[in-house]
Homo-oligomer: A and B are copies of this chain.
Amino acid sequence: MSTEKPIVDEKDLECVAKFEVRFTGYLDKDGSAVRRLPEIADLPDALIALYRSMVLTRTFDQKAIALQRTGNLGTYASSLGQEAVFAALGAVMRPEDVLVPYYREYGTQLMRGVTMTELFLYWGGDERGMDYAGPRQDFPICVPIATQVPHAAGVALAMKYRGEPRVAVTVFGDGATSKGEFYEAANAAGVWNLPLVLLVNNNQWAISVPRSEQSACQTLAQKAIAAGISGEQVDGNDAIAMFDRLSAAVDKARNGGGPSLVEAITYRLSDHTTADDASRYRRDEEIKTHWDYEPIKRLRQYMIAKQYWDSQQDEALQQTCRREVEEAAQAYLNTAPQKPESMFDYLYETLPETLRSQRDELATTEQQSRA
């Protein structure tokens, strides 16, 4: 039944709805607190876990780019500069939650048990890189922009349908907020009060298109208003702020409070992908400015000032990360290729009779060409 009020016959109905968009940030660029800090800021273990994820991701990134440059990996999308967003997300999600990512959330994925070898396999052109041994229900990387957002809503709908205290989280970029599916899914999540978190990784560029040409709205957080759900902005390069706000959003969803949109303001310090050359469209000074705000340094300086961390530990961590990454790269490079016929083997549960001849033909051609 309609909830609209009947056509008014009173005076003074001028303002019928009011909204505000809030921003949260705790650390300045040097890692000093600018306001009262949330609980996590005093939990060294939690901070170190975030920090570790960020360092590991960055190390992984560097290796991936090196592999790509040497012809051992396909096009690769780096997460350089955005590590805090993904580390925080990994930290606040529970194993039974479901991540529906786009393609930069290595930090989150690794914390959830996706292996670096799997990630290398994916970008190395091998479907097995989407068969995560760890988080079996997480969606794989999604390339067609924003198409995963309705999946996340569907996952959340299934969770709600079954009355499970689980949460679906989907991540996408600033560019993705221009796609219809994003709005459609956010709107539906609002209608059904779904346990869903929509995390916008606003790294301020969509390939060569700056945030200002993507939308006239002052914030991306305010897109939530169109869906009747809550939306907020967070300093995406402040791991403490990200943890704080994402855990609030995830908790709220888990406790029946419904969906929220979190806009993480961060910056893509790298090219869009290894196939891109950002110098065609982006000024060097802009990048330089943003290096001052990069998240790893900020959290490290905070932790060091608090004496939660020191340079020796840091060196050790860097080394461990390098070793882990190297091992994963080796495992990737040593992975035996899939059989060509495998392209038929996961198409349907059972290969339809009519496709058998095509599979056979492929297997024969292949034997011929190997022979």
Contact = CB atoms under 8 A, between A and B. Distances in A.
A353 interface: no
A14 B293 CA distance: 19
A217 B210 contact: no
7 contacts: A1-B212, A4-B212, A4-B265, A9-B25, A19-B20, A183-B226, A226-B226
Nearest to A14: B22
A16 B11 contact: no
Contacts of A17: 20-21, 218-219, 221-222
A229 interface: yes
Interface string A272-307: 000000000011001001101100000000000000
A227 interface: yes
A291 to B, nearest CB: 11
Contact of A184 (B178, B191, B212, B223): B178
Interface of A: 1-4, 6-25, 28-30, 34-35, 178-181, 183-184, 187-188, 190-191, 193, 202, 204-205, 210-219, 221-223, 225-229, 233, 235-238, 265-267, 282-283, 286, 289-290, 292-293
A93 B223 CA distance: 30
Given A7-B235, A181-B180, A283 B1 contact: yes
A20 B265 CA distance: 24
Nearest to A27: B9
Q: Which of A204, A216, A236, A267 has the most CB of B within 10 A?
A: A216
A184 B190 contact: no
Contact of A225 (B35, B210, B225): B225
Contacts of A3: 210-212
Nearest to A174: B4
Nearest to A34: B11
A19 B222 contact: yes
Contact of A214 (B10, B11, B191, B219): B191
The list of the 6 closest CB pairs from A to B, nearest first, reads A180-B180, A216-B228, A190-B216, A217-B228, A9-B28, A226-B226
A9 B237 CA distance: 11
A82 to B, nearest CB: 12
Contacts of A15: 20-23
A179 to B, nearest CB: 7
B9 A34 contact: yes
Nearest to A222: B225
A7 B212 contact: no
Contacts of A238: 7
Contact of A25 (B7, B18, B22, B226): B7
A3 B14 CA distance: 33
A352 B286 CA distance: 54
Contacts of A226: 183, 217, 222-223, 225-226
Nearest to A219: B17
A180 to B, nearest CB: 2
B212 A2 contact: yes
A179 B181 CA distance: 8
Given A2-B211, A16-B21, A193-B216, 6 more contacts: A2-B212, A15-B22, A17-B218, A17-B221, A216-B227, A216-B228
Contacts of A193: 216
